[in-house]
């Protein structure tokens, strides 16, 4: 039933693909391969070793692959939906706490735009599967 107009998961599949691309692959590749000077310019990195950022980038790429694979399944089980909600909720909470603790004051304009985009995508990814959780297995 996937990829048809009658697909009940159509909006969720779209959100999963968008999140898989931007939150997973794009952010992951940025954190994994961006040079130190670019990360300094955007205010994402201040000093110290880069391996925590590189590790986070590798994890985000894995998360993006999970979202893409989930979106391509014929039927999305409750376990998959709950995992998606929890993952996106945790990412959104981390970003919100960083904002509230004013840890993002060093971000440039590009960094602020990326932060807002990332936060909105994580919220959409956390909220959209909730309506499907009740009706699935």
- Give the pLDDT confidence score for residue 137 in this predicted structure: 57
In the prediction, which pLDDT does 3 show?
A: 59
With respect to residue 52, please indicate whether it lies within any of the assigned structural domains. Answer: yes
Q: Express each pLDDT in 45-83 by its tens digit.
A: 778 899 999 999 999 999 999 999 999 998 889 999 999
Q: What is the DSSP string of 20-85?
A: IIIIIIIHHHHHHH--HHHHHHHTS--SS-SHHHHHHHHHHHHHHHHHHHHHTSSS--HHHHHHHH
Residue predicted with more confidence, 20 or 105: 20
Residue 24 lies in a domain: yes
Domain count along the chain? 1
Could you read off the pLDDT of 3-43 as tens digits, one per residue?
567 888 888 999 999 999 999 999 999 999 999 988 888 77
In a domain, 1, yes or no: no
Q: Is the pLDDT of residue 2 over 60?
A: no
Q: In terms of residue numbers, what domain contains 90?
A: 10-133
Residue 111 phi/psi, 5° resolution? Answer: -65, -40
Residue 4 lies in a domain: no
The pLDDT-based confidence of 93 (bands split at 50, 70, 90) is very high
Residues near 11 by beta carbon (within 8 Å), at least 6 away in sequence: 128
DSSP-assigned states of every residue in 100-120: HTTTTTT--HHHHHHHHHHHH
pTM of the model: 0.85
């Amino acid at each position: 039933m996937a990829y048809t107009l009658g697909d009940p998961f159509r909006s969720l599949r779209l959100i999963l693909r968008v999140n898989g691309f931007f939150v997973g692959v794009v952010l992951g590749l940025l954190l994994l391969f961006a040079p130190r000077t670019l990360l300094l310019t955007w205010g994402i990195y201040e000093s110290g070793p880069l391996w925590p950022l590189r590790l986070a980038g590798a994890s985000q790429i894995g998360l993006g692959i999970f979202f893409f694979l989930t979106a391509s399944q014929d039927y999305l089980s409750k376990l998959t939906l709950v995992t998606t909600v929890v993952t996106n909720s945790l990412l959104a909470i981390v970003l919100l706490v960083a904002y509230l603790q004013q840890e993002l004051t060093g971000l440039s304009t590009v960094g602020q735009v990326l932060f807002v985009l990332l936060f909105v995508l994580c919220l959409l990814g956390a909220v959209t599967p909730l309506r499907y959780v009740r009706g699935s297995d």
